[in-house]
Amino acid sequence: MDFVADQLVGGRRFRVLTLVDLYSRECLALRAGFSLKGGDVAAVLEQLKRNGRKPQTITVDNGSEFTSRELDTWSYRNDVKLDFIRPGKPVENCYIESFNGKLSR
């Protein structure tokens, strides 16, 4: 799980939350917005859970959305492990980085 950012023609920046299954390489979720926070990430994961697609482990970087209290609480209550990569080491989450690169083209 990660974020990719871009901007509209008028200059307003937006972000897209991307969630890719490590094994099937299937994109499980895309959520775009101008201001996405930890609660928004938890809401996307809750929707996946309702659809029977709850992950067991999620690899994330140390961004504020992923270290938020809302996401920590959701993952604890749903028995989902958050696997944080080392700061400054995006290659430890290479599958999502590759997906984001293709999405940005």
What are the pLDDT digits (tens) for 38-67? 999 999 999 999 999 999 999 999 999 999
Residues of the chain with pLDDT below 50 are none
| Residue in the block written with tokens 């604890």 | 76
Q: How many CB atoms neighbour CB 96 within 10 A?
A: 22
pTM of the complete model: 0.91
**Tally of CA atoms within 13 A in the half-sphere of 59 that contains its CB:** 16
User: What would the two tokens of residue 11 be?
Assistant: 């200059």
Domain 2-104 sits in CATH at 3.30.420.10
User: What would the two tokens of residue 92 be?
Assistant: 């430890």
